[in-house]
Amino acid sequence: MEENVIKIIESETIKKDLNLIIGLPDTGLVGVISSTHIVTSEKMKEAATLESRFFPPMIVIHKGHITSPARIYARNNLLALISEITIPVAGIYSISESLSNWIKSKEPNLVLLLGGIPVPNRMSIDKPKSYAIITDDKTREIAEKAGIPLLEEGVMVGPYAILMRE
């Protein structure tokens, strides 16, 4: 793996033992929309930006401020990583593995990857369903307490697949 594939520039010190939500562009932009809603409703503050030579040369502007299209927000014991750009195919392995290493260095209590599932009749669904993919007994217990059924069959691809595997 190449060194410095992704640079995480902390404007605020990000502590260890936090809970992390990750919202990357995916089916229906569910991950980005959900994470952005959490950041807004919890009044989280930008704590870091992500840079990579694999990212397209771009910035985003929110509320008149220039920022990176990939950011980490923080409040209390919660972090939220949001990317408004899709990770290019050529960088998926390198960026996902580097990101995974950074996440491991922060020793989070819990990491939630928010994403969508393609559904042919999505426009006619009144109440979308949520599913959980669990990685251990702790996440199984959380899903069960929340009443979220397990996804029994499926396929995960892209950055989420690598992050889940790692």
Domain residue ranges in the chain: 6-119
Return the SS3 of 119.
coil
CATH fold of 6-119 reads Rossmann fold (3.40.50)
Is the pLDDT reported for residue 1 higher than 50?
A: no
Count of C-beta atoms within a 10 Å radius of residue 161: 14
Is the pLDDT reported for residue 72 higher than 80?
A: yes
| Average pLDDT taken over every residue of the chain | 91
Mean pLDDT of 62-88: 94
The pLDDT value recorded for residue 9 is 95
Q: What is the pLDDT of residues 36-52, one digit of tens each?
A: 999 999 999 999 999 99
Is the pLDDT reported for residue 125 higher than 90?
A: no
Is the pLDDT reported for residue 2 higher than 60?
A: no
Which own/partner pairs from 24-29 qualify as long-range (CB within 8 Å, at least 24 positions apart)? 24/83, 24/86, 24/87, 24/113, 24/115, 24/158, 24/159, 24/160, 25/83, 25/84, 25/85, 25/86, 26/115, 26/116, 26/158, 26/160, 27/115, 27/116, 27/117, 27/118, 28/116, 28/118, 28/122, 29/116
